[in-house]
Amino acid sequence: MAESTGTATADMIVGDGDDGVRRRDFINIAAVSFAGIGGAATLFPLISQMAPSADVLAESSTELDTGAIAPGQAIKAIFRKQPLFVRRLTAAELAEANAVGLDDLRDPQTLADRTKEGHGDVLVTMGVCTHLGCVPLGAAEGENKGEYGGYFCPCHGSHYDTAGRIRKGPAPTNLEVPEYEFTSDSVIRVG
Amino acid sequence: MSFSWARQYEPQTGVTKWLDERLPLPRLVYNAVGAGYPVPRNLNYMWNFGVLAGFFLVLQIITGVVLAMHYASDATVAFAKVEHIMRDVNWGWLMRYMHANGASFFFIVIYLHIFRGFFYSSYKAPREMIWLLGVVIFLLMMATAFMGYVLPWGQMSFWGAKVITGLFGAIPVVGEPLQVWLLGGFAPDDAALNRFFSLHFLLPFVIAGVVILHIWALHIPGSSNPTGVEVKKESDTVPFHPYYTAKDGFGLGVVLIVFAIMVFFLPNMLGHPDNYIEANPLSTPALIVPEWYFYPFYAILRAFTFDFFFVPAKLLGVIAMFASILIWFILPWLDKSPVRSGHYRPLFRIFFWILMADMALLFYLGGAHAEEPYIMLSQLATAYYFLHFLVILPIISQIEKPRPLPYSITEAVLGKDEQAAGNKPAETSA
Amino acid sequence: MIRLISILAGLGFAIAALWSFGKGAYVVMTEGMGEQSAEYALHEKVRGPEGGFSFEGPVGNWDRQQLQRGYQVYKEVCSACHSLNYVAFRNLAELGYDEGQVKAEAASWQVPGIDPNTGEATSRPGLPTDKFPSPYPNSVAAAAANNNAIPPDLSLMTKARKDGSNYLYALLVGYGEPDPAKLAEYPEFETPTGLYFNKYFPNVNIAMAPPLTADGQVTYSDGTEATISQMSKDVAAFLTWTAEPTMVKRKQTGWPVLGFLLFATILAWLSKKQIWSSVKPRKED
């Protein structure tokens, strides 16, 4: 009709403002909101695709046998693509670790806190320095064990004692003990 | 922009004022797809496909970047990596199916966009540059899609790469060295796969750049419209926002419903089962065909089965295939009818629908086995395709008598326009 | 000028295409369309028997009992020759096995391993994270053991064939003798030695010996009668699952997405209608 020939302006649909949201505005607001919800919902798969995939998660438990480790020896294994140190402490190392007073420690933990009952001489830690993630030395024969006879991180000079506790250097916390359990007398399952 | 009544962007808050004086990005958006862009008020739903094509380009880039995070372009693991995406990556199957079907939908909306351009002669002055850039986008899309299809390294990927690069082998003298150079070897392998991946990642961003030019060129004369009569005054237009944002939003919803049906319920319908078999250089699939969106051009390629005098059939097919798209570049100068819209061109309209039927036939034949009667049909369809653009269009634009045009868009929409009284046939006299 | 050149070029392309058409038509008229081969005639192109699978259709779901039976058929019959490279034992949890059963199942397979003391190649019981092992160490061994026809990997078989689940089922029950009526037209036809006639195989002569030959070839623990048809159906279902373990999840995700889109589109339509109502002229009655 000729009456509606006039210029269409956006004001016509924005509404008058003072008399609040009217029914026809409500439809527009609802439509835009739904588009927004849809857009936000699509973000979910886009973000979660970067989380570990099923095959990576499936690899995230490691079983290994500690039976063959002689006192004073350590083995390196791989847990979640990171080094895992498993060490059987000698009597001297046990004594040394237990002799330290908790007040002297940056991150106070006893050796018993860090091992499993009945297997107090098996120390399972991540081989990842808690400073910036280098692999500390001391697990293999002949490597520098640091001033406290445990592990030594060459990157920035963190010294760990025989219980894997931080004693000197920049690292803030003890070497992490991952979740693990003994599934038999000698076999542990990490993760 | 070109219309004096286009609304001006006025920053409301301190922050937007501050931004407007330093980087007037909101102003740019306002003028490009906001209330500052006056658009003919009579656009029909065929005008939705430009925005939809833009949507699918963005979707392809997003899903493609995601897939690239989990893929590896090494011939020994590429196929397994795609299966890794399908099975183990969180929502990987959704990303891949969206990307694969997104490519098809990108082509669906692009074809409709192009056919819209054919019917309403959107390529005519002063919009030639928009059209030329559009053809460039289409060519880039074809290159991107072809290389993307190689990446899963299935049987169709491998043989598609071999056959398509083999086209270049048809070029006299330099053909064979050129093919070896393109592949980086004597058959598709690591070298080809790696370069295809690299280019497949790059080209979409080139497309995005050309799209910006395409839109820029569009905003110089403004959008065309179904009457083909240029905008004369303010009552011929409405602001892009909210009118066409709302209309495009609805169109997008409809297309997304169809897209979702494909992705979630028929994700492999447009693909080939053979591509779920890992590439095997020792065994050719029974039927090698490209993806459906290449069918018309593949049909033209295969139509030339006999040497024509001194030109070998293989070379002729390759030339015809490339020419079938390249002739679109000169379309604005072939069709010289002063009337744009097919609605007012009785003769043109008949041939337009014959062309659509011809294209539909070529789509069908491109996917068919290379046997009779399909070959003979594709030869007839190919002949018409070239006759239509190169012979029929130039001739009918000379001999056709167009129907009278409305004085203005306003008149076309409302049935009358006060200003039109007395000077009605102004546009048809040409 | 450009139009004159274009008309000439257009006529050139058209004549070249019609030239091929003419010569092709001449060949067809003088020599005919070529005779169809016996293989072509004997191939059952109509859709074979259908498995009636629970996962078909937009709301289909896996029948876990059937998948477990199909897995048993794969394990006891198919796995002698066919690998399942893209499937890991851990995936069997989706068939309804619990963690302990998955571990036990994995351990019942031997996978290639390395002797931790000597580094020599050896085999060890599988872990849930391992993929199904190949029956042959490499493709040469597979070809040598199978008359040069390498048994294909089955992980993706149902996706690698048109209507793959039903195709596989039809193929497994399609062995036998050619239809005598049709065979009478092709007296020359003979299945070559070492191949087997199967009317649903595109070339009718398949290198795979009939794998399921007798009812009760496997013993189902759930009491289902193991007829050839039942075993074929079950293994086709299992291999559909291996080809796309996410299929059911995909369909189940699709419904809410579709519902949302439908609702959002209706809103968009109402919004569009409302916005345009101020400029659209009402139709005159």
| Residues from C in contact with A at Cβ < 8 Å | 88, 90, 128-129, 260-261, 263-264, 267-268, 270-271, 274-275, 278-282, 284
Residue with tokens 């009939």: C210
B73, B157, B223, B378: which is the annotated catalytic residue? B223
CB C191 within 8 A of CB C198: no
Place of tokens 């005054």: B233
Residue B327 DSSP class: G
How many percent of chain B have pLDDT more than 70?
A: 97
Alpha-carbon Rg of chain B, whole angstroms? 24
Compute CA distances B161 → B193, B236, B273, B365, whole Å: 9, 50, 17, 21
C2 at the B interface (CB within 8 A)? yes
B218 phi/psi in degrees, rounded to 5? -65, -35
CA angle at C262 for the pair C259 and C264, rounded to the nearest 5°: 105
Rounded Cα distance, B120 and B345, in Å = 10
In tens, the pLDDT along B98-154 reads 999 999 999 999 999 999 999 999 999 999 999 999 999 999 999 999 999 999 999
For B294-333, how does the pLDDT look when each residue is reduced to its tens digit (9 = 90+)? 999 999 999 999 998 888 999 999 999 999 999 999 999 9
* Inter-chain residue contact C24 with B305, CB threshold 8 Å: yes
Q: Is C161 on the interface with B (CB under 8 A)?
A: yes
Chains that touch B (3 or more CB pairs under 8 A): A, C
Rounded Cα gap, residues B250 and B243, in angstroms: 11
Closest partner residue to B264 (CB to CB) among C20, C245, C257 is C257
**pLDDT surpasses 90 at B218:** yes
CA distance B234 to B41: 10
Tell me the residue type at B304: F
Longest dimension (CA), chain C: 94
Compare all CA atoms of chain A with the CA of C90 and give the residue at the minimum distance: A58
The ranges of chain C with pLDDT < 50 are 283-285
How far the first Cα of chain C sits from its last, in Å, is 52
Nearest-Cα distance to chain B for A61, in Å, is 17
Rounded to a whole number, what is the distance in Å from the CA of B9 to chain A's nearest CA? Answer: 13
Number of neighbouring beta carbons within 10 Å of residue B210: 15
Q: What is the mean pLDDT of residues B250-270?
A: 97
What does the DSSP 8-state code read for residue B402?
P
Chain C: partners with 3+ C-beta pairs within 8 Å: A, B
At B222 the pLDDT is 93
Categorize the per-residue pLDDT at B28 as very low, low, confident or very high, splitting at 50, 70 and 90. very high
Report which residue type is found at B354.
Answer: I
What's the rounded Cα separation, in Å, for the pair A54 and C204? 41
Task: List all residues 6 or more positions away from B286 whose beta carbon is below 8 Å from its beta carbon.
Answer: C202
- Chain segment B141-188, per-residue pLDDT in tens: 999 999 999 999 999 999 999 999 998 888 888 989 999 999 999 999
Query: What span, in angstroms and rounded, lies between the C-alpha atoms of C190 and A96?
Result: 86
**Of the partner residues B5, B91, B238, the one whose CB lies closest to the CB of residue A49:** B91
Assess contact for B253 and C264: CB atoms under 8 A: yes
Residue of A nearest to B238 (CA): A8
pLDDT at site A2: 36
The DSSP 8-state label assigned to residue B244 in this structure reads: I
Q: According to the model, what pLDDT value does residue B430 have?
A: 38
CB count, 10 Å around CB of A37?
Answer: 12
Q: Any alpha helices (H) in B120-174, and if so which ranges? A: 128-150, 155-168
Q: What is the DSSP string of C23-53?
A: HHHHHHHHH-S-PPPHHHHHS--S-------
Give the C-alpha separation, B274 to B280, whole Å. Answer: 11
Give the mean pLDDT of B40-51.
Answer: 95
Q: How far is CA B265 from CA B104, C127, C156, C226, C240, in A?
A: 15, 34, 18, 32, 15
Sign of the CA dihedral running C221, C223, C227, C232: negative
d(CA B37, CA B393): 33
Which chain C residue has its CA at the smallest distance from A34's CA?
C264
Q: Of B404, B311, B378, B408, which is closest to residue B42 (Cα–Cα)?
A: B408
Q: One-letter amino acid identity for B13? A: T
Amino acid A16: pLDDT = 43
Given C11, C159, C254, which is nearest B276 (Cβ)? C159
Residue of C6, C23, C265 with shortest CB distance to B254: C265
Residue B421: predicted pLDDT: 57
The first and second tokens of residue B176, run together, are 């064979």
CA–CA gap between residue C183 and residue C195 (Å, rounded): 17
- The bridge status of strand B237-239 relative to strand B38-40 is antiparallel
- Report the DSSP beta bridge partners of residue C125: C110
Please list every residue in chain A whose beta carbon sits closer than 8 Å to the beta carbon of residue B6.
Answer: none
The DSSP 8-state label assigned to residue A52 in this structure reads P
What's the gap in Å between the CA of A131 and the closest CA on chain C?
32
Contact A31 B249 (CB under 8 A): yes
CA–CA distance, C27 with B372 (Å, rounded to integer): 11
**Helix, strand, coil shares, percent, chain C, to 5:** 50, 5, 45
Contacts of B340 (CB under 8 A, 6+ apart): B120, B121, B122, B124, B224, B228
Separation in Å, CA of B56 to nearest CA in chain A: 14
Q: Do C254 and B330 touch (CB under 8 A)?
A: no
Taking CB atoms and an 8 Å cut-off, how many pairs form between chains B and C?
Answer: 173
CB contact under 8 A, A53 and B235: no
- Give the separation between CA B152 and CA B227, rounded to whole angstroms: 46
> Are C20 and B327 within 8 A, CB to CB?
no
This prediction's pTM: 0.91
Report strand pairing: C196-197 vs C205-206: antiparallel
Whether A156 is catalytic is yes
Environment class of B398 (CB within 10 Å of its CB; exposed 0-12, middle 13-18, buried 19+):
exposed
- Contact predicate B217/B130, CB 8 Å: yes
Euclidean distance between CA atoms C165 and C240, whole angstroms:
6
> Which residues of chain C neighbour A26 with C-beta distances below 8 Å?
none
Q: Do B95 and A49 touch (CB under 8 A)?
A: yes
Catalytic residue, chosen from B73, B121, B224, B248, is: B248
B390, exposed or middle or buried, with CB in 10 Å at 0-12, 13-18, 19+? buried
Task: Say which amino acid occupies B69.
Answer: M
For position B428, what pLDDT does the model report?
Answer: 44
Residues B407 and B423 sit within 8 Å (Cβ to Cβ): yes
**Do C213 and C228 meet the contact criterion of CB atoms below 8 Å apart?**
yes
Looking at chain C from residue 175 to 214, which residues have their Cβ under 8 Å from any Cβ of chain B?
Answer: 202
- The whole-angstrom distance between residue C133's C-alpha and the CA centroid of its chain comes to 21
Of the residues B89, B93, B255, B392, the best mutation for testing chain C's interface (the one with the most C CB atoms within 10 Å of its CB) is B93
**Is C274 in contact with A24 (Cβ distance < 8 A)?**
yes
> Phi, psi (5° rounding) for residue A76?
-105, 130
Q: From the list A5, A13, A46, which residue is nearest B235 (CB)?
A: A5
pLDDT recorded at residue A36: 94
Cβ <8 Å between B239 and A49: no
Contact between B261 and C255 (Cβ < 8 Å): no
Contact B303 C155 (CB under 8 A): no
- Tracing tokens 């190949």 back to the chain, one arrives at C134
Secondary structure (H, E, C), A92-125: HHHHHHHHCCHHHCCCCCCCHHHCECCECCEEEE
B1 versus C18: the higher-pLDDT residue is C18
Closest-approach residue (CA) in chain B for C268: B250
CB within 8 Å of chain B, chain A residues 1-60: 1-2, 4-10, 13, 28, 31, 35, 45-46, 48-51, 53-56
DSSP state of A7: P
Q: How far apart are CA A107 and CA B51, in angstroms?
A: 60
All residues at 6 or more sequence positions from C114 whose CB lies less than 8 Å from its CB, including other chains: C120, C121, C122
Q: In angstroms, how far is the first alpha carbon of chain A from the final one?
A: 75
Q: Which residue has the higher pLDDT, A16 or B234?
A: B234
CA distance C163 to chain B (A): 9
Answer for the pair B83, B51: CB distance below 8 angstroms, yes or no. no
- pLDDT score at C281: 61
> A53 and B88: CB-CB below 8 Å?
yes
Long-range contacts of A169-174 (CB under 8 A, 24+ apart): A169/A131, A170/A131, A171/A129, A171/A130, A171/A131, A172/A106, A172/A107, A172/A130, A172/A131, A173/A106, A173/A107, A173/A130, A174/A107, A174/A109, A174/A114, A174/A125, A174/A130
- Single-letter amino acid, residue B75: A
Interchain proximity B268–C159, CB inside 8 Å: yes
Contacts 24+ apart (CB under 8 A), B327-332: B327/B386, B327/B389, B327/B390, B327/C6, B328/B131, B328/B135, B328/B138, B328/B389, B329/B132, B329/B135, B330/C2, B330/C6, B331/B123, B331/B131, B331/B389, B331/B393, B332/B123, B332/B124, B332/B125, B332/B128, B332/B131, B332/B132
Quick one: tokens of C65?
């009992």
Residue B88 distance to chain A (closest CA, Å): 5
Name chain A contacts of C260, Cβ cutoff 8 Å: 34, 37-38, 41
Catalytic residue among B236, B274, B291, B417: B291
What's chain B's average pLDDT? 93
Angle between helices B128-150 and B155-168 (to 10 degrees): 130
- pLDDT at position C247 is 96
Q: What is the pLDDT along chain A (191 residues), one digit of tens a residue?
A: 333 334 444 444 444 444 455 666 889 999 999 999 999 999 999 999 999 999 988 877 788 888 888 898 898 988 888 999 999 999 999 998 898 888 889 999 999 999 998 888 899 999 999 999 999 998 888 888 899 989 999 999 999 999 999 999 999 999 999 999 998 888 898 87
The answer to whether B223 is a known catalytic residue is: yes
Partner C, chain B 276-295, Cβ-Cβ below 8 Å: 276-278, 286
Tell me whether residue B19 is exposed, middle or buried, using C-beta atoms within 10 angstroms of its C-beta: 0 to 12, 13 to 18, 19 or more.
middle
Interfacial B residues in 111-140 facing C (CB < 8 Å): none
CB contact under 8 A, B243 and C159: no
Rounded to an integer, what distance in angstroms lies between the CA atom of residue B208 and that of residue B215?
A: 11
